Structure formats: C-alpha cells, structure tokens
A and B are shown apart, each in its own frame.
Chain A
Amino acid sequence: MSPENALLTPADREMLEHTMLVRDRLEEQYHDLEQQSHAAAAGMWVFLATEVMFFGTLFVSLGIYRFLYGEACEAASEKLNWAIGGINTIVLLISSFTMALAVHYARLERRKALTTCLLLTGLFGLCFMGLKAYEYYTDYVENLIPGWRFVSQEWVDQEGLSPDQVPHVKLFLLFYWIMTAFHALHVTIGLCAVAIIAVLARQGRFTRSYYAPVDVLGLYWHFVDLVWIFLLPMLYLLGTHSADSLHL
C-alpha cells in the first residue's frame, strides 16, 4: 500500500477506487455507470428481439412444412437421436443455472465464485457442443444429411414412404441441420464470450457498480438455452417414438 493510500480512511479509499473505475470504464456519451449498464442491457434485449425473429422465421417455415407433410416429417423426426438431444437439454439447463449464479456473484463482487461459475458454464457449453458433434457424426453414419449423405431408397424400403414423400423428408432434415447449426453457431459465439468474460473476471475487472458485461452475457446465454428448449420438441419429439429408435 502506498503511503498516500495509508492516510485514507476505508470509505475514502473506496470512493477513490470508484472514481478511478468510473474514469476507466465510463464511455463519454454517458453520465454515469448506472446509465451505461442500463443501456447495455437494453441493447442486449433489443438484440434478442431480432434473434427471436431470426429463429422465428425458421420455426414458422418448419411449422408450415410439418403441417403440410406430417407423415414424412414424423418419419424423419423419429430417425433423429432424441436421447442425445434430451441429455443436451439438461446440460444446457445446468449451464444456464451456473450462468445465473455467475451474474449473482458478480453483483455480490465475489470474484472467485464468479470466475468458477463462468468456467462451469463454459464447460457445460463445451459438453453440449461435444455431444452435438457426436450426434452429427451419428447422423452422418445413418445417412441423414440431405444433399450429401442421403439414400432415398432407404426411406421407401424401410420406412414405407412413397417416393414423392422423400423430398419432404429431405426438407425436414434440411431444417434440422439449418436450425441446429444456427443454434450451435450461437453457442460457439457464447462460449467465446464466456471465455473472454471469465478472463476479465479473474483479473478483477468487475465490481459491484460495474458488472454489465456479465449481466448482458447472461441474457444472451439464457436466450440461446431457451431456443434449444423450443428446438427439442419441434425437431426431436415430433414423431411417435418407440423403444427401437433409442439409438442406444
């Protein structure tokens, strides 16, 4: 501790630190850190509204084709690996819990707990991605990739679909790929952000009056989790699943 600081009372020191923090973090267009963090959170909420529209377009399109081609979509849905999809849902839910804890500890300025929770969130996120990658691999093995690995005859012979229903199967599978890949892209971006914020948290960049980045990251992470909650029934639980399709 420098000699000047030793003369200060704890209250003064806190005030001094706060002033330095404000000087360091406050951008010129804001009056104070509170206004700045409100704006940051508002920005993320608005961004999430656009995300709803991005995913919404896909959900609506898929919903329409599901309505038009129910039988083919169900047949295709049954081929998907719902066991991994289900486990992944639990993994993501736990990661959302640790993320909520991270925001909580950021608010309490408990640096170590914050860092740990962020790392745990990242770990569960990685776990999700790993399982997803494995699932993609099984899809590859099972010829579920339209336009690349897909055997039309299998669907006619084994699933009892008529040949003109096969394009509809492709359509459903294509939406499965687009939607899960788009979601995985969001998880990847989230993982990068978690890593960065975790490093900053370890360095002690966040305090009681400045933790907006953690807060905003939390919003994003929960949203990505929420999207998966909708993806699971829409893609995996569509058909009537039997024990044969457990993929175990």
Chain B
Amino acid sequence: MSGATLQPVPRRTVRLPPVRETYLNVARGVTSWLLTKDHKRIGLLYLVSVTVMFFIGGFAIAIARLNLLTPEGGLVQADTYNRLFTLHGVIMVFFFLVPVVPASLGNFMLPMMIGAKDLAFPRLNLLSWYLYMLGAAWTLYAMLAGGVDTGWTFYTPYSSEASHYNVVATMVGVVIAGFSSLLTGLNFIVTTHWLRAPGMHWFRLPIFVWTLYATSLIFLLAVPVLAMALILVVIERIWQIGIFDPSLGGDPVLFQHLFWFYSHPAVYIMILPGMGVVSEVIPCFARKQLYGYNFVAYSSFGIACLGFLVWGHHMFVAGISLYSALIFSSLSFLVAIPSAVKVFNWTATLYKSSISFQAPMLFALGFVALFTVGGMTGLFLASLGVDMHVHDTYFVIAHFHFIMVGGMVMAYMGGLHYWWPKITGRMYSEWWSRLSAIIIFVGFFLTFLPQFVVGYNGMPRRYHKYVPEFEVWNILSTAGASILSAGYVLPLCYLLLSLRYGKRAGANPWGATGLEWQTASPPPKENFAVTPVVVRPPYQYHLMKAQNEP
C-alpha cells in the first residue's frame, strides 16, 4: 500500500482510554476476584469477609445485651444466652479481631509501604483467604445449627465432657482459621525481610510494618499451640480418653496453660496492628514527625516478646502455685512499659503540632484515650490481690473490651478511613465520618464504663440474669450499646455510598509521606510504575511544604 501515502490522511480524534488501569478494573468477573493473586484484591476479599463476621458477632451480643436490660433476663433462655455470648466471642476473636487489620489493611498496605509489587507468596495469600472462609463457614454453621455454650475459651473439662453442643465442629473451624493466620504471618515476615524497595532500611520502615512483623511473629509461634490444644480436646471428645479430664487422669489446668499460651499473645495480635495504624495516622494529621520512632518500633517487639511470658495471669484462681503467680504478675506489669512507651510517644507527637480533626484522626485519638483506660485497668488485673476479687466479673469484660473494641476496632476504623481513598480512589463524607467517630466513642464509653462499676461490685460474667441492684448500670450499658451499634452501621452506609458518589481522591489526599501515597489511587496492579527508591526515614512531615497540607 505504498500509494496510500499520497492520499490525504483523514483527521481523527485520538481517544485516550477513558479510565486508567487500576487493580480494580485490570480484570473483570467473579473468577478474576476468586482466583486473584493480587494482595490488594485479597485484602479487599478479607475486608468484606471480616465485615460480615463483625455484624454477625455484633448481632449476637446485641440480643444478649438487650436481655440484660432487666435483672430477670426475660428475653432469652439461659441456655440460649450461653450460646449467644459464645457465638459472639468465637466470631469476634477468631474471625474478626485476629484477622481484621493484618489480613485486610495489612495485606493491602504492607507491600505498598515497603515498595514491593506483591507479597512474597501470593498463592499462599489466596489460600489463606480460602482457609479463612472455610473456617468461618464451618464455624458459623456449627454455631447456628445447634450452637456452642462453652464460651470462646473452651475451658475443659466442661468443653471436653459436659457440653452437649457442637464443640468439636466449632473447634475444627477455629483450627482451620488458625492455619489461615499462620500463612498470613509467614507471608508477612518473608515479605518484610526480602521484598523491601532499595533504600528501605529497617529503620525507614513505617511503624505499621513493624507492628505487622511483630504480629506475624505471634501468629507463627502461638497459633500452633492453640491448634494443637483444640485438636487434643477434639480427640478427647471423640475417643473419650481423658487428656484434660481430671476423672480420667488428665489435667484441665494444662488446657488452660496451652489455651492462654496462645490467647494471651493473641491479645497482642489484636492490638499491635492497631497501634501501627495509629502511629501512621497521628503524625499525618498532626503534621509532625513521629516522636521517638526507634522506641515505638522496638516497643512493638517488646510487647510481642513479653506477651509470651504472661499467660499465667489468666489463671491466678486456677490453683497455680503462689510463686508462679507472683512471677506472672510481675511480668504482666512489665508489659505495661512498652505499651506506655507508645502512648507517651503519640502524646509527644501531638505536643505543639498542628492538628486537624479529620475522621481518621478522631478515631486515632479515640484509640489513645480508650486504650489508655483499658491498659491501666489491665494493671488492676495483673495485681494478684485485686484479680482474686474481680476475676470472672464484668470488670474483666470491660477491661478487655476497652482494649479490643475501644482499641482495635477504633484503630481499624481509623485505618479504614485513612486508607479508604487509596483503596477505592474516592473520598467519603467528611461530616458523617466525623459524626460516626464521635458516636462510636460516646457509645463505647457509655456501654463499657458501667461494666467496670458492676464488675467491681461483683457482677459475674456469663450469667443471663443478675441481682436487681445492678439494674441501673446495666440499663446504661444497654443504652450505650444501642448508640454504639448505630455508630457502626453509619460507616457501612457512607463508605458504600462514597463508592458511587464520593469525589475522586487523588494520589495523596492527606498529604501523607508513606510510599503507598506516592502511587495513584486506586493503585495500578503492580503498585508502582517504577520501583521507588527510599532516601529518607518515614514521617518527615516537618520537611513538607505548607501547600501540601490538607
């Protein structure tokens, strides 16, 4: 067609592709999601799954809480009540709190924050989500068709001998989900070691990465112990040989040791990633470098290591020797130090900074306040004498909900609001999001503060009725719970609406410093067009120019 060059070239408008290629539109269809190896998509799969589990677990406890509105507990039978709080505990601990930040936000952000294209083992990452789903479906089925009444702690010999509900099936579900956490932890550790971008030294890593690393360590060393302990109970129930049954020579306290060897470090699984999120959010919205970076980084490891040595403080009344109780008690006091180091450093970061109160910051500040209350009351429980008095009361419930819900869920909400523009490319309603942060904070305080009072005065946990003297406090608590649940439904609405109506976010709406903000929102499939080279430590907000400020 050499003659064609002589003809006039027709004028044509060159159409650019209307949408930029992102991880969301690079492939379409259900299978492209279900078989994805992209850490960002798997993070979103987790995000949806844990949200569903959160509302199921929340619904169960809403009914139980309503039941406690009156001292007679007229709403549900005692038996139903037992199954409700067990459903709540098992779902919230194993299927929400443990995976919530690491597997969703962590999965999405870890490779981006260290400048990698993906996690080290993408197929394992997908497998971990499938194991989670299998475990979740299995457990849900077991708990809805019949239920379990042992509490999330599965204490023997009740769980191994007496309970007539679906204990075996529930435990198998929890073990399956445990394997999913193992794979996540393994992936995170190898990724952090081997896939950091050039120039990304250990002390240039954002604190969120440090906390995910510490969390992964706990996953790897603690989950196997729980899995094995639960398998032993399952074997005991099936073959009727008393591994933990005292009448057959077994030792029920051994189960408690094994269980808490996992479950106390697991408490730090449920708080460390939250601390990481807060360490990202606070410097960003205070426009100031994180105070004492090294201390915050090391304290994550301090918490992870000490966390393995304190499990005995759950067993002060289980007949362990006075000497071991003393040692466990003093070690438990030691854990408060690295936690306090973090709180002091966050506070010092805020000092003389220019704070702006967007939703992520409100959640982060809420975290600091509630975590401090939760942490301080933890010291009460670490003291031998006080623990004897308040063991198994609502004081304990209030304490760990301040850490788990007041701490972790607040931090999760903060992280979700902080990274939502990056994940979806859209901004959510500023007004509604601030309102929801305030509602959640107020609702939370109203729900759990009265529980400290009733607990201290002797109201035991896990009973479906109580003496009339505690009625006022319980009414307050139930009222708070209704406010709290409204606060949790709100984000579901405005975040989903933002997907359609939210304004476009741009690469870096908060003017933040992390690597994840240097790529487009939503990011392309390979995260970065060019592998970034890191030349500075994180959180250099003091170097940023005024026009970058939000």
Contacts and interface: CB of A to CB of B under 8 A. Distances in A.
Interface of A: 27-30, 35, 38-39, 42-43, 46-47, 49-51, 53-54, 56-58, 61, 64-65, 68-69, 146-148, 164, 167-168, 170-171, 174, 178
A43 B243 contact: no
A64 B254 contact: yes
Contacts of B195: 29-30, 35, 39
A171 B241 contact: yes
Contact of A46 (B186, B227, B248, B526): B186
A27 B248 CA distance: 54
Contacts of A28: 117-118, 526
A57 B186 contact: no
18 contacts: A27-B122, A28-B526, A35-B195, A39-B121, A42-B193, A43-B120, A47-B186, A50-B182, A50-B224, A54-B227, A57-B225, A61-B232, A68-B251, A147-B241, A167-B242, A170-B241, A178-B232, A178-B235
A168 B189 CA distance: 41
Contact of B116 (A29, A53, A168): A29
B497 interface: no
A116 B335 CA distance: 54
Nearest to A28: B117
Contact of A43 (B121, B232, B251): B121
Contacts of A61: 232, 243, 254, 258
Nearest to B116: A29
Given A50-B224, A57-B228, A68-B251, 4 more contacts: A29-B119, A42-B190, A146-B239, A170-B249
A68 B254 CA distance: 12
Contacts of B227: 54
Contacts of B225: 53, 56-57
Contacts of B251: 64-65, 68
A158 to B, nearest CB: 20
Contacts of B189: 42, 46
B220 interface: yes
B353 to A, nearest CB: 37
Interface in B231-263: 232, 235, 239-243, 248-251, 254, 258
> By CB atoms of chain A within 10 A, which of B111, B122, B248 has the most?
B248
Contacts of A58: 228
Contact of A49 (B193, B220, B239, B254): B220
B223 interface: yes
A108 B111 CA distance: 35
Contacts of A30: 195
A124 to B, nearest CB: 27
Given A61-B258, A64-B254, A178-B235, A171 B228 contact: no
A47 B184 CA distance: 11
Contacts of A167: 241-242, 248-249
Contacts of A29: 111, 116-120, 122, 195
Contact of B250 (A27, A50, A51, A171): A171
A53 B221 contact: yes
Interface string B144-187: 00000000000000000000000000000000000000100111
A61 B241 CA distance: 14
Contacts of A47: 186
Nearest to A150: B241
Given A29-B120, A61-B254, A54 B224 contact: yes
Interface residues of B, number: 40
Nearest to B123: A27
- Nearest 7 pairs of A and B residues by beta carbon: A147-B239, A53-B224, A57-B228, A167-B249, A29-B118, A54-B224, A39-B194
Contacts of B186: 43, 46-47, 50
B229 A57 contact: yes
Contacts of B117: 28-29
Contacts of A35: 194-195
B194 A42 contact: yes
Contacts of B223: 50, 53
B534 to A, nearest CB: 15
Nearest to B219: A50
B242 A171 contact: yes
Contacts of A43: 120-121, 186-187, 190
Contacts of B185: 46
A56 B257 CA distance: 14
> By CB atoms of chain B within 10 A, which of A61, A65, A174 has the most?
A61
Contact of A174 (B220, B229, B239, B526): B239
Contacts of B116: 29
A38 B258 CA distance: 33
A178 B526 CA distance: 45
A136 B366 CA distance: 59
Interface in B109-133: 111, 116-122
A38 B196 CA distance: 13
Contacts of B241: 146-147, 167, 170-171, 174
Nearest to B186: A46
Contacts of A168: 249
Contact of B243 (A49, A53, A164, A174): A174
A30 B454 CA distance: 56
B233 to A, nearest CB: 12
A167 B246 CA distance: 10
Contacts of B254: 61, 64
A42 B193 CA distance: 9
Interface string B330-364: 00000000000000000000000000000000000
B258 A57 contact: yes
Contacts of B240: 147
B190 A46 contact: yes
Contacts of A147: 239-241
> By CB atoms of chain B within 10 A, which of A29, A46, A170 has the most?
A29
Nearest to B240: A147
Nearest to A57: B228
Contacts of A56: 224-225
A168 B249 CA distance: 6
A69 B190 contact: no
B120 to A, nearest CB: 5
Nearest to A178: B235
Nearest to B120: A39
